Amino acid sequence: MKRIQNICAVDSCFLCNNCLDEWKPAILAHKTTYKIKKGEIIFKEGDPVTGIYFVNSGSVKVYKKWDKDKELIVRFARQGSLFGHRGLGIGGIYPISAAAVETAVVCYVDVAFFEASLKVNPDFTYKLLMFLTEELKQSERKMRNLAHMSVKGRVAEALISLQNQFGITDDGFINIDLSRQDLASYAGATYETVFRMMNELVSEKLIGLSGKSIRLIHHNKLLKLAQDVVFL
Amino acid sequence: MKRIQNICAVDSCFLCNNCLDEWKPAILAHKTTYKIKKGEIIFKEGDPVTGIYFVNSGSVKVYKKWDKDKELIVRFARQGSLFGHRGLGIGGIYPISAAAVETAVVCYVDVAFFEASLKVNPDFTYKLLMFLTEELKQSERKMRNLAHMSVKGRVAEALISLQNQFGITDDGFINIDLSRQDLASYAGATYETVFRMMNELVSEKLIGLSGKSIRLIHHNKLLKLAQDVVFL
DNA sequence: CGGGACGTTGATAACTTTCAACCGGGGTGG
DNA sequence: CCACCCCGGTTGAAAGTTATCAACGTCCCG
């Protein structure tokens, strides 16, 4: 996690992009920028909260640990999104961990400044409110899936979700470089089980593989597999 | 769900309680009050969003359905809390359902008015933001538990959580009248399995039963059972 | 008195994790 | 340059957990 020159692309930053114009100079003066290497941990649950992060490029997993070598990936943050905001509110301790999945550039502001932004900038607060509402919907949806959906369904859902978030490359593969381990953590199941389910999906011709890359072939059947009552 | 005279206890209402004083008359003029009988459904996921509810008395379960006769209870709302706010944001459709667990009195304001409150009242928006942040923390915590914790642990966790939310009666029992079915839906497991786990907990003397009522006996052991790394 | 909802229990089936072993490739140190 | 090691991927078998099914009991309400 190396501090670098500010190269924040203002128009793809949640903070800059949703703020009053007159507040932007303050942001630019205040924030710092870091480059985070693939795999590097940014903060861990239990760490005292210092600030909020905004993703410029790359991708970051937000996760909760369990048992030293088990975790659940709660969501991914990528360009234009933020993380660390769960540190707000009571406690002053991050309830989750964050690490770079793909080498990332992030902007950082400390909590005090962030809260000042909220005070000064009601419209920003409102935007953040909407952002949290969406996160909460996703979160509860995922909760229900973990409780009731089979692993195969969850894998299907995870893949669709990844494609929605990261898009596809020119040759049609999901545009993210994710280890199988992380995929498993995202689907909320073990490595081996996810692997087997992937195999089934391949032989049912619902997805295609090329090395680590994954391509969705039969989007509709995948959706149906996830028995999805689409109230996204 | 019967409309009744406004009997809102201002000091236990999230809306009234967190708002500017000058906005309160507008609220009082605008809101309506309903009495909801035990078991009655207030809205279902998929329904178009009409407004936000604030709980005055009683208790309401917020849940997601699955499969006609399965559901997952996401949280409970009781005095001083609100529900239906997940209807905010894009979509205009409730992503969750709500029903009274114990006969409840709730205040209701329509979305337009609620959003007007947010605009007029930055401090209220901020409070709501904090509320959502806490909800999100809870939600993600529960997500992790569903993914990694055993049913027994989840039952323990559910009971502790219920006691924290609803407190205890004079004779030490958790102060909520909840069907086993709902308890199971809250813990995210089947009826029968939860039943068996309750039996185990009883014979381990961690909890006590009296009819439907439940008393926690060995709080610490329950917590440990839930292997809880307490970053609440 | 009958019916239905809820509670209780056991047997069985299905699903998922766990464990253990193997493979192949990339990087490292000798 | 090569042998080795370690990591991530792959596979099979066994164990453990949880859901499902079926049956029965009980209480309350109509």
Tell me the chain B residues in contact with residue A143 when contact means C-beta distances shorter than 8 Å.
64, 72, 74, 139, 142-143, 146, 188
Q: What is the pLDDT of residue A110?
A: 94
Task: Give B105-134 pLDDT, tens digit per residue.
Answer: 999 999 999 999 999 899 899 999 999 999
Interface A-B, measured as beta-carbon pairs within 8 A, has a size of: 138
Helix (H, G, I), strand (E, B) or coil at B228: coil
Give the type of residue at B17.
N
Give B67 or B103, the one with higher predicted confidence: B103
Average pLDDT over residues B34-41: 90
Place B51 in a pLDDT band, splitting at 50, 70 and 90: very high
Closest-CA residue of B relative to A142 is: B143
Architecture in CATH for domain B149-227: Orthogonal Bundle (1.10)
C strand bases under 7 Å from protein CB: 6-11, 15-20
- What is the overall mean pLDDT for chain B? 90
List all residues of chain A from 144 to 173 with a beta carbon under 8 Å from chain B: 144, 146-148
Chain B positions in Cβ-Cβ contact with residue A139 (cut-off 8 Å): 136, 139-140, 143
| 3-state secondary structure (DSSP) of residue B106 | strand
User: Which residues in A lie closer than 8 A to residue B129 (C-beta atoms)?
Assistant: 88, 118, 125, 128-129, 132
- Inform me whether the pLDDT recorded for A48 exceeds 80: yes
Q: Does A116 touch chain B (CB under 8 A)?
A: no
Query: Would you place residue B47 in the very low, low, confident or very high pLDDT band (cuts 50, 70, 90)?
Result: very high
What pLDDT is attached to residue B227?
A: 65
Task: Encode pLDDT of A79-99 as tens digits.
Answer: 999 999 998 988 899 999 999
- Of the partner residues A65, A122, A188, the one whose CB lies closest to the CB of residue B125: A122
Q: What is the pLDDT of residue B25?
A: 87
Q: Is the pLDDT of residue A229 over 60?
A: no
Is the CB of residue B123 less than 8 Å away from at least one CB of chain A? no
Three-class SS state of B182: helix
The pLDDT tens digits for B186-197 are 999 999 999 999
| String of DSSP letters for A148-178 | HS-HHHHHHHHHHHHHHHH-B-TTS-BS---
- In which residue ranges of chain B is CATH 1.10.10.10 found? 149-227
Phi–psi pair at A72, nearest 5 degrees: -125, 125
* Segment B79-102, tens digit of pLDDT: 999 999 998 988 899 999 999 999
State the average pLDDT over residues B161-182: 91
What pLDDT does residue B232 have?
36
* Cβ neighbour number for residue A193 with a 10 Å cutoff: 15
Percent of the residues in chain B that have a pLDDT greater than 90, as a whole number? 65
Which of A231 and A48 is assigned the larger pLDDT? A48
Residue A37: is its pLDDT beyond 80?
yes
B72 contact residues in A (CB cutoff 8 A): 143-144, 147-148
Residues A86, B142: C-beta atoms closer than 8 Å: no
Q: How far is B5 from chain A (nearest CA, A)?
A: 31
Chain A residue numbers with beta carbons less than 8 Å from the beta carbon of B96 are: 140
| A44 interaction partners in chain B (CB closer than 8 Å) | none
| Average model confidence (pLDDT) across chain A | 90
Closest alpha carbon within chain A to B122: A122
pLDDT band at B206 (very low <50, low <70, confident <90, very high): very high
Distance (Å, whole) CA A218 – CA A14: 33
Phi-psi map region of A170: left, alpha, beta (phi>0 left; psi -120 to 50 alpha) = alpha
**Looking at chain B, which residues constitute the CATH 2.60.120.10 domain(s)?**
2-139
Q: Check if the beta carbon of residue A44 is closer than 8 Å to that of residue A94.
A: yes
CATH fold for the domain made of B2-139: Jelly Rolls (2.60.120)
pLDDT (0 to 100) of residue A230: 43
State the nearest Cα–Cα gap between A139 and chain B, in angstroms: 7
Instruction: Quickly state the pLDDT bin for A9 (edges 50, 70, 90).
Output: confident
Count each helix (H run) and each strand (E run) in chain A, helices first. 8, 9
**Cβ contacts, strand D, under 7 angstroms:** A 179-181, 191-192, 195-196, 199, 212; B 70, 150-152, 189-190, 192-193
Q: Does B10 touch chain A (CB under 8 A)?
A: no
How many angstroms separate the CA atoms of B103 and B59, rounded? Answer: 7
User: Residue B67 — very low, low, confident or very high, per pLDDT cuts 50/70/90?
Assistant: confident
Q: Which of B95, B140, B188 is nearest residue A147 as measured by Cβ atoms? A: B188
CA/C1' separation B55–D25 (Å)? 38
Cβ under 8 Å to B: A residues 20-59: 45-46
pTM for the structure as a whole = 0.92
Do A197 and A226 meet the contact criterion of CB atoms below 8 Å apart? no
Nearest CB neighbour to A139, from listed B65, B70, B136: B136
